[in-house]
A and B are shown apart, each in its own frame.
Chain A
């Protein structure tokens, strides 16, 4: 049996508090939110990995006395 997701709804006009199951539309929205969040996280992690790789490459070139690319220089300059 699948779990029924419940949300707590507080009516600030009446003070009534009730627990109601999520509708199909709300569950669909929840899934879209989760997918959007996962996509954001992936993009964020990819950008962080790219920046870290640029830093490593720039560091190695500096030690070896090789010229840096513009992108590598950009991650080193504050």
Chain B
């Protein structure tokens, strides 16, 4: 296969960027999308050119490091997949594909397709945990949790923090990411103690980081590699209203 690429190249955060054309030759349908880019980069390095910067690590869809837009779609055209798990058999010989970084005010571009997602860490830092020091935990089976509840919590906890939801949202909202963590902990008995404070603190931090509001378009759910549902956002909103009433805010 032969693939034409138009790739966003930007040397640094404050530098101008533009789309540059590349050709990927001899592409095997069994290659992952990132392996195809590896081959393109090998060619660039041999010529002494700066290779295309993109992030990746586990290359099996779980670490959340990789991600960019392919023709405007976060992680490309395959449902429920990160870009490292997308294989070239999803494309046709001669296709022209445009690659761009996640675009959001809260995710400044570092270089080419790499963005700064540290805002996600700061949202977790605001309350995405239970405040249990090591040493004080009681026996694990002393907490009974119904199976459907744990399954639901696991559905929310499966978020990999890749940022596709933000990139897909016209408001650049991180509501899906934030709500997934709030839901995971709100559903479980262990999360009840700090339930009220958590949702308020995390939503406040989300807003302070410069993410937009949710307007229920559902684009985030459509691109999420872990198929995190927007019902999490509905739950976050309910949790927020509940917390506001309880706290009299």
A and B associate in one complex? no
A residues with a Cβ closer than 8 A to B are none
Interface residues of B, Cβ cutoff 8 Å to A: none
